[in-house]
């Protein structure tokens, strides 16, 4: 029966299956299912450096043995995660696996949360081996994710930026941005997506006069938290940007009025406000910014297909009257203006409000009064059923 199904339909059916035992069983359903199922089963490999050396060696041996028996399966692996890299673990087990993987499109490299060292503190064999292998993939690498990699040397960072279409560096930093600039390596692929969340040194790197060409083709930008460099980068990329995600916080807050007000190709926008009672001007300043007018004026956002709006609040005793368990919002007129703009915008489907409560308070007892206060401040959005209020234990 499977032979009568178009191969494209079989591929689509298998793409919806994520349960490994089911995929293995589907391999027996007919020859038409074998290749799609094998591709699905071997799409991703996770190599965890936190495993004990003997366990990691056994895992690596099994992977190598598996691919030695069926060499064509290694080409199906397109995603690789190198997780929990530490300064104390040898890499010889991992090298055996890396040599077999030549078709990686999505690569994630994460340093262990417990590792307090910088790039140069990691064993040179670890960094040089991984980086040399990554260079061999350049030109074919679609996505590179770097998590908690601190003080990456500038020449290495430049080479990484020029070898992938999508770069995400979270809680990372670059060493030597303020020093003399080495020449830009040959660009092997255009950078289309840039996410440098909580990695403030990457913005100044791309804004250097010598490297500004890197921003020419960026279509998707994640800038959080917002600062003067990310605002400048938004201005540089505004002409080509299709997706933009920005976060306004209380720390080093940039006046939103300096934001560019014209994004001709923008189709997806996510705006997040981290508010706090110690900075009650944040919502007020943001509500009158050019960016908000761009986002919420239906006349200027005809190309929009998706608009997501988040309000994230840390709630403590400054907001609440303990005696009456009522919450008040400073600059309430700003919240009402947001409500009016959000409620009438055709592309806003929901407004999410996350709240983290002070550790001295009982979140269960505090949530309902807080939610009632939010609904009161956003009556239009609330009446249309667009408001989703969530109590979160911790917020980043």
Which range, of 5-19, 100-114, 250-264, 280-294, averages the lowest pLDDT? Answer: 280-294
Distance between CA atoms of 58 and 93, rounded to whole angstroms?
A: 9
Given a cut of 80, whether residue 221 has pLDDT beyond it is yes
pLDDT at 282: 47
Given a cut of 90, whether residue 192 has pLDDT beyond it is yes
Partners of residue 221 on adjacent β-strands: 194, 244
Contact between 78 and 141 under an 8 Å Cβ cutoff? The reply is: no
Contact between 18 and 29 under an 8 Å Cβ cutoff? The reply is: no
SS3 188: coil
Given a cut of 60, whether residue 87 has pLDDT beyond it is no
Contact between 60 and 53 under an 8 Å Cβ cutoff? The reply is: no
pLDDT at 325: 44
Given a cut of 70, whether residue 387 has pLDDT beyond it is yes
Which of the two residues, 332 and 167, has the higher pLDDT score? 167
Quickly state the pLDDT bin for 369 (edges 50, 70, 90). Answer: confident
Q: CA separation (Å) from 99 to 130, 136, 270?
A: 11, 10, 40
Contact between 395 and 354 under an 8 Å Cβ cutoff? The reply is: yes
How many CB atoms are located within 10 Å of the residue 355 CB? 22
Distance between CA atoms of 86 and 358, rounded to whole angstroms?
A: 34
Mean pLDDT of 347-355: 73
Q: What is the DSSP letter of 51?
A: S
Distance between CA atoms of 138 and 156, rounded to whole angstroms?
A: 13
- How much of the chain, in percent, has pLDDT values that exceed 70? 70
Domain boundaries, the chain: 1-41, 240-396
Mean pLDDT of 145-152: 88
The structure tokens 């670890």 sit at 126
Interstrand relation of 348-357 and 152-153 (parallel, antiparallel or unpaired): unpaired
Partners of residue 351 on adjacent β-strands: 309, 387
Q: Residue 6: CB partners within 8 Å, gap ≥ 6?
A: none
Which range, of 54-58, 66-70, 263-267, 343-347, averages the lowest pLDDT? Answer: 54-58
Q: 241, exposed or middle or buried, with CB in 10 Å at 0-12, 13-18, 19+?
A: buried
pLDDT at 165: 92
Given a cut of 60, whether residue 280 has pLDDT beyond it is no
């Amino acid at each position: 029966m499977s032979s009568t199904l178009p191969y494209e339909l079989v591929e689509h059916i298998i793409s919806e299956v994520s349960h490994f035992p089911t995929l293995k069983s589907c391999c027996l359903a007919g020859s038409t299912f074998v290749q799609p199922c094998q591709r699905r089963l071997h799409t991703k490999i996770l190599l965890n450096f936190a495993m004990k050396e003997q366990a990691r060696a056994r895992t690596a041996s099994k992977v190598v043995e598996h691919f030695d028996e069926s060499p064509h399966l290694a080409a199906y692996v397109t995603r690789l995660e190198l997780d929990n890299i530490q300064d104390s673990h040898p890499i010889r087990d991992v090298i055996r696996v890396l040599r077999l993987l030549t078709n990686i499109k999505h690569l994630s490299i994460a340093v262990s949360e417990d590792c307090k060292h910088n790039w140069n503190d990691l064993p040179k064999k670890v960094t040089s081996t991984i980086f040399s292998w990554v260079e061999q993939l350049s030109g074919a690498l679609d996505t590179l994710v770097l998590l908690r990699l601190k003080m990456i040397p500038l020449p290495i960072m430049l080479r990484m930026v020029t070898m992938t279409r999508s770069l995400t560096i979270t809680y990372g930093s670059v060493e030597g941005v303020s020093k003399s600039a080495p020449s830009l390596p040959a660009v092997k692929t255009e950078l289309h997506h840039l996410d440098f969340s909580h990695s403030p040194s990457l913005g100044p790197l791309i804004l250097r006069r010598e490297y500004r060409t890197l921003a020419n083709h960026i279509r998707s930008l994640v800038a959080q938290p917002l600062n003067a460099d990310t605002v400048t980068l938004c201005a540089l990329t505004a002409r080509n940007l299709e997706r933009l995600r920005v976060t306004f916080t209380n720390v080093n807050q940039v006046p939103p009025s300096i934001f560019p007000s014209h994004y001709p190709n923008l189709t997806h926008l996510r705006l997040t406000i981290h508010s706090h009672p110690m900075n009650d001007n944040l919502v007020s300043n943001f509500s009158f910014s050019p960016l908000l007018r761009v986002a919420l004026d239906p006349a200027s956002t005809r190309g929009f297909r998706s608009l997501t709006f988040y309000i994230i609040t840390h709630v403590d005793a400054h907001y609440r009257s303990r005696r009456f368990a009522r919450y008040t919002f400073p600059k309430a007129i700003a919240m009402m203006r947001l409500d009016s703009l959000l409620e009438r915008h055709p592309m806003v489907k929901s407004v999410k409000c996350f709240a983290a409560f002070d550790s001295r308070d009982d979140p269960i007892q505090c949530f309902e009064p807080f939610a009632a206060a939010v609904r009161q401040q956003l009556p239009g959005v609330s009446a249309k059923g667009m408001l989703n209020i969530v109590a979160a234990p911790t917020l980043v």
